[in-house]
Amino acid sequence: MPRPLYFHHPSSLEHDTGAHPERAARILAIERELESRDWLGFERVAAPEVEPAALEAVHSPELIRAIAELSARGGGAIDLDTVTSAGSYDAAVHAAGGAMAMVDSLMAPDGPAAAFSGLRPPGHHAEPGRAMGFCLFNSVAVAARRALDAHGRARVLVLDWDVHHGNGTEAVFAEDPAVLFCSIHQWPLYPGTGAAGDTGRGAGEGTTLNLPVPAGTGDDAYVSLVEHVVAPVAREFQPELVLVSAGFDAHPSEPLAGCRVTEAGFAAMTGTLRRLCAELGDVPLGMVLEGGYDLGALARSTGSTLEVLGADGPPPAADVAVHPLAVEAAARAARYWPGLAGVSAG
């Protein structure tokens, strides 16, 4: 079986944000952790630049041109949260390119079962025509679109467990029934989107599943939401690729949020996804780095996640209690996904 792949590129270190939570030290911390663990068996692959057509399938020409021109001028602020430097455009096209190449590898006949794209800047807040929330281009959206357009896949699941709602990814796919977008995020919190009642629009109604949780929510609820809500919906949806917006800022040490998901929680959610992918017929699983701003927590959480992601097989099934938040979420979504009708506590 091919080794799992880890996509990287030195341009991630050239996106200079100054005194900012989203900084180059994040990549260095992750890579130190993984190097100390012999990369957990992952094969390191240099990310290419994203192909223009793949980027334009998600973002407007105006946004792409604006980021390129801003970087060419030496960079500057896009908004209070989002800044650029001379190296930002190069970093962003490699971050999107890593996600694109990850999908190309996963979709290959002899490709790996799993891969991780460990680049920055993050992407899930970037909307089709707007960079925001530390994000320039939406890498996970590029990845999902790539699977549909270039590889002929009919259905893709995107799970976003970053503590902030993936408003950009939702905006890209809100009307697209080919992408099931599920987001577990603290509510209320930046960017203020992701209400439970937002379920998609038009042909995509029902294929957006927002799972907001209050501050203080920890492993028991997050793991239960993946095990008892996301996984059953995925069984009905039958994705041909599973992608994760892997932010690690729901950790208790996170300075920008208030959830309490530990390294064990991230590993357990990954385990559920590995079992789901095996059950669906060895569907490939790819992850794209998003947030996580406490360096130690980020590095350890990434390591724990990749340990499960890159293992030879999924971990044994776990007995996961049904959390009240999962019961509530299942009741809301059952009108679109009848398989959730039987989810109950106890």
Question: What are residue 10's phi and psi, to 5 degrees?
Answer: -65, -20
User: ∠241-125-34 over CA atoms, to 5°?
Assistant: 60
Catalytic residue among 9, 15, 94, 125: 125
Distance CA 314, CA 247 (A): 21
Q: Does 125 qualify as catalytic in the annotation? A: yes
Question: What are residue 117's phi and psi, to 5 degrees?
Answer: -105, 105
Give the number of C-alpha atoms closer than 13 A to the C-alpha of residue 292, restricted to the C-beta side. Answer: 32
Amino acid at 257: A
Tally Cβ neighbours within 10 Å of residue 339.
Answer: 16
Cα–Cα distances (Å) from 126 to 121, 170, 316, in that order, read 11, 10, 36
- Which one-letter DSSP state was computed for residue 205? T
CA 335 to chain centre: 26
User: ∠314-251-308 over CA atoms, to 5°?
Assistant: 15
Amino acid at 99: A
* End-to-end Cα distance, the chain: 40
Just list the catalytic residues: 125
